[in-house]
Amino acid sequence: MSENFLVKKYKEKVELLENNSILVDASDWKEISTFIFKSRFDYLMCITSYDLEQDNKIGLAYNFYSTKSKEYLEIRIEFEATTKVFSIAEIWRAADWHEREAYDLMGVIFEGHPDMKRILLPDDWDGHPLRKDWKEPEYYNGMPVPKDKTYWE
């Protein structure tokens, strides 16, 4: 199993979850991500951000794939929304846009990203809409957001 090599190396720092994904602390991510890249996981498939809906915590799920040994690896980090997470965009360039998307839609703050800004939403957008506590604003750029939606709903 691809997960075991991480558990063996970082016994206290990682936790094996039910579906064989590995929970990592945000402060150890810099060290562990470098190790993962050097082992064999050269292909980053996806970074998913999610809202845990308790204690203002959010999470990230990294899905890795190894083109050499055809193995999968899923890493999770769960942290307070204000925590800065180490950016892996310099290691896997695929992470560049995925991290920008996680910041844009979920408000994850990455440390060391080369070009952090919004990617899908306009630059003047307020807030991060995939947070569960996100509320539709009253005004956007001075224009009232229509409340009567009977025309299209």
Partner 1 sequence: MYKVLDKSIIGADEMVMNMGPQHPSTHGVLRLKIVTDGEIVSHIEPIIGYLHRCFEKHCENLSYEQIVPFTDRCDYLAAMHMAHGYSIAVEKLLGIEELPERVEYIRVILAEFQRIASHLIAVGVFGLDVGAITPFTWTLRDRERIIDLFESVTGSRLLYNYIWPGGLAHDLPPNFIQKANDFLNYFEPQIEEYNNLLTTNKIFIERSADIGVMPVDVAINYGVSGPTLRGSGVPFDLRKDEPYSIYQKFDFDVPVGEGLMGTVGDCWDRYYVKVLEMKESIKILKQALNSIPEGDVKAAIPKKIRPKKGEIYSRYETARGDLGLYIRSGGKNMPSRLKMRSPAYCNLSVLNEISAGWMISDVISVLGSLDIVLGEIDR
**Alpha-carbon distances, residue 38 vs 33, 61, 86, 110 (angstroms):** 9, 19, 17, 21
Residues 44-83 that bind partner 1 (CB under 8 A): 44-46, 48-51, 53, 61, 63, 67, 70, 72, 74
Distance CA 119, CA 3 (A): 32
The size of the interface with partner 1 (CB under 8 A), counted in residues, is 36
22 binds partner 1 (CB under 8 A): no
CB–CB of 105/134 below 8 Å?
no
39 binds partner 1 (CB under 8 A): no
**Closest separation in Å from C-beta 72 to partner 1:** 8
Residue ranges binding partner 1 (CB under 8 A): 18-19, 42-46, 48-51, 53, 61, 63, 67, 70, 72, 74, 89-90, 92-94, 96-98, 105, 114-115, 118-122, 129-130
